[in-house]
Amino acid sequence: MNVADVDDISARLNAYGGRRVESPEEADLVLVNTCMVRKKAEDKAMSYFGGLKHARNAAGRPPFIVAMGCVVPRNQQKIRETYPHIDLLVNYSDPDLVMNQLMEQFEPLAASAMDDDFSPAMTTSIGSQNFVTAIRGCNHRCSFCVVPWARGPQRDEPIDKIVAEAREHELRGAPDVTILGQSIMAYGKSSGDGSQRFIEMMEAVLENTSFPWVRFLTSLACDMTDEICERIIAHPRITPLLHLPIQSGSDKVLSDMRRKHDVATYRRMVEKARSVRPDLYLTTDILVGFPTETEADYRETYALMEEIGFDDAFMFAYSERPGTHSARHFPDMLSREVKIRRLSEVIELQRRTSAERSRRYIGEELDVVIEAVNEEGAVARTSFNKPIYMPGTARQVGEYSRARIMTVRVSAFTGEEISVEHAAIPARV
């Protein structure tokens, strides 16, 4: 979501004649987008601000520095006092709000005009992922999570706007598109009558574009239905990637986390998804060390991970976030040692599982999109978003190619390009 916001803002700045550069030293304007989902991210943002103190661009002047995103409102005073070299503080990362403030405060912008035919899809990053934000904010109230407070309640973008943005990505030559929301399957549920329109929205994107690959992120088991599995997950132009965060394998912890799914629902949805999509590439988020997590609860998470066999997982140790329900009601009592031990164990387990599950691809030929090419070779991505390293490619960044998988690493493949003419690229493995 943060990457999508930054892409959107940079597309708008392009429309004003700007150009994205690699480092603060090349820039007239530096935007630091921040995240506070865990304390570590927040600390990282603060120390990054410090590192910008002596930044000077080619003209020998300090760039205009903007701190934006969730970390800002909570740390306004501290940022002002400790980092006076920051020129502008913006409390959100919503592209409209950031641009409004920039227009007022950053002189070169106030003095220029925007291209009439601007669209957020005019980002420059053709080879990497191409995002359309369908939902902003979140209406779930997971007790550990600061996202609803940081990003506000769920707001759904209208279907025609989502479709128009996806089409613009297509027109500028993007090979694929990813439709985003904190809980994307809840699309439509904020519109008053509570109806769920995820299927309708995704079908509109599929019907009105011809991307071989359409993805969506992130899904919650409580919003998932059999019909979603049958009509969307099974769709040949939907990629086999399903990111379905479980967080914990203990029903008691899930209930304290205020997740609206239990283990049985989760398991049932995974079975259904795997049955309609035998090539499903299932990833998850695991949160260990929640304040009420006993050793037995944690063992249930470990066992569930063994049972389900995720292709990949993002794993975190609980980090108390201000204002959340769990910060108010469940004192963060587990020691750092316990949390770190549980985290390392699940990481180790997942490392083995990922490597094992990846082996099924060895020798397979997969469609890939070229993401980067340099002297060392090429990096491409599979439909399920796994990087693949190849010695080289005959194709350009952003183009489809095909590769034979040679070896597997934990979260990447190595492979070699095989030459085929692509008439149509099916998303299935």
Q: Determine which residue in the list 6, 67, 287, 305 makes contact with ligand SAH, applying CB under 6 A.
A: 287
Question: Judged by CB, which is closer to ligand SAH: 182, or 358?
Answer: 182
Closest CA to 368 of 411, 408, 409, 419: 419
Contacts of residue 402, defined as CB under 8 A and 6 or more positions apart, other chains included, come to 365, 366, 367, 368, 417, 418, 419, 420, 422
Stretch that binds ligand SAH, among 60-68, 87-95, 315-323, 359-367 (CB under 6 A): 315-323
Question: Judged by CB, which is closer to ligand SAH: 127, or 289?
Answer: 289
Distance, in Å, from the CA atom of 69 to the CA atom of 31, rounded to the nearest integer, reads: 10
**Least distance in Å: CB of 42 to ligand SAH?**
11
Q: How far is CA 292 from the centre of its chain?
A: 28
Stretch that binds ligand SAH, among 5-13, 48-56, 142-150, 362-370 (CB under 6 A): 142-150
CA of 419: how far to CAs of 255, 336, 365, 368, in Å?
51, 51, 11, 12
> What angle in degrees, to the nearest 10, is found between the helix axes of 95-105 and 2-15?
40
Q: Is 154 in the site for ligand SAH (CB under 6 A)?
A: no
Q: Residue 252 is inside which H or E element, if any? A: helix 251-256
| Residues between 225 and 284 with contacts to ligand SAH, criterion CB under 6 A | 245, 247
Question: Judged by CB, which is closer to ligand SAH: 322, or 392?
Answer: 322
Stretch that binds ligand SAH, among 140-148, 192-200, 205-213, 386-394 (CB under 6 A): 140-148
Question: Judged by CB, which is closer to ligand SAH: 39, or 53?
Answer: 39
240: helix, strand or coil: coil
Distance, in Å, from the CA atom of 256 to the CA atom of 245, rounded to the nearest integer, reads: 16
Question: Judged by CB, which is closer to ligand SAH: 28, or 285?
Answer: 285
Beta bridge partners of 316: 287
Distance, in Å, from the CA atom of 162 to the CA atom of 290, rounded to the nearest integer, reads: 36
| Residues between 199 and 228 with contacts to ligand SAH, criterion CB under 6 A | 218, 220
Question: Judged by CB, which is closer to ligand SAH: 37, or 199?
Answer: 37
Distance, in Å, from the CA atom of 239 to the CA atom of 232, rounded to the nearest integer, reads: 10
Question: Judged by CB, which is closer to ligand SAH: 119, or 248?
Answer: 248
Distance, in Å, from the CA atom of 288 to the CA atom of 294, rounded to the nearest integer, reads: 10
Distance, in Å, from the CA atom of 98 to the CA atom of 50, rounded to the nearest integer, reads: 21
**Least distance in Å: CB of 177 to ligand SAH?**
20
Q: Determine which residue in the list 87, 251, 285, 365 makes contact with ligand SAH, applying CB under 6 A.
A: 285
Q: Determine which residue in the list 74, 136, 321, 386 makes contact with ligand SAH, applying CB under 6 A.
A: 321
Question: Judged by CB, which is closer to ligand SAH: 102, or 288?
Answer: 288
Residues 23-42 as x/- pattern, contact with ligand SAH by CB under 6 A: --------------xx----
Binding interface with ligand SAH (CB under 6 A): 37-38, 142, 144-145, 147, 182-183, 218, 220, 245, 247, 285, 287, 316, 318-319, 321
